[in-house]
Amino acid sequence: MNQVLTEHYAKHLESVPGMYAGSRDSSLVPEVVRAVGAWAVDGDILNFLVSTNLSTKFLANIRDNKEVTFVAANVMGYETFQYKGKYISDSPADESDNNIHNQYAKGFGELVAQIGIDADRYTKSHSIPPFTRVTFKVSEIFDQSPKIKAGEQVSGIQNKREDSTPILMK
């Protein structure tokens, strides 16, 4: 079986990117939440943390219909990947998860401080405990880095396709 989450994507997640996740309800109304820590496991499993109290509808949606989408973008280099897959489980963050969150918050704060953002106040705005760990199986990865071919599928079990149709820029 092909590995979807190769080392390149695992390292990208370790580079403390900005992260969000999306879901949708039974009427196809989307929801978006901020993620505050993520890590890859076992080739196609991705874990991420969300603030539980800011994610009530997001969590209800993924428990109901299993559809999970996640995006991570480098603060400095803009390299961005979108991960699509199916919900496996969620659970209250344990001590290990909270340690991962703390490392993420510290690293992310150090990065945004370099571009003049008040790291402590920014982190407090979206890192609101308690946290929930979401686990999902990634089936497709798309390169969303800002460039002409943004949206191209770069990994996954389906036939490679493009999520965007670039146009001639000139």
Query: Under the rule (CB under 8 A), what is the footprint of another protein?
Result: 18, 20-24, 28-34, 53-54, 65, 67-71, 73, 78, 80, 82, 84, 117-118, 121-122, 124-126, 128, 144, 146-148, 150-151, 163-167, 169-170
The C-alpha atoms of residue 86 and residue 7 are separated, in whole angstroms, by: 21
Task: Give least dist CB 52 to another protein, A.
Answer: 9
Task: Give least dist CB 113 to another protein, A.
Answer: 13
Question: Cβ closer to another protein: 86 or 99?
Answer: 86
Q: Which two tokens stand for residue 129?
A: 């405990």
The residues, any chain, with a CB within 8 Å of residue 160's CB and separated by 6 or more, are 152, 153, 154
What's the DSSP call for residue 12? H
Task: Give least dist CB 124 to another protein, A.
Answer: 7
Task: Give least dist CB 158 to another protein, A.
Answer: 11
Give whole-number Cα distances, 16 to 31, 58, 85, 105, 109, in Å: 23, 22, 21, 8, 9
Question: Cβ closer to another protein: 54 or 99?
Answer: 54
The C-alpha atoms of residue 35 and residue 72 are separated, in whole angstroms, by: 9
Question: Cβ closer to another protein: 96 or 121?
Answer: 121
Question: Cβ closer to another protein: 23 or 97?
Answer: 23
Q: Which two tokens stand for residue 152?
A: 């191209």
Task: Give least dist CB 103 to another protein, A.
Answer: 21
The C-alpha atoms of residue 128 and residue 82 are separated, in whole angstroms, by: 24
Question: Cβ closer to another protein: 8 or 77?
Answer: 77
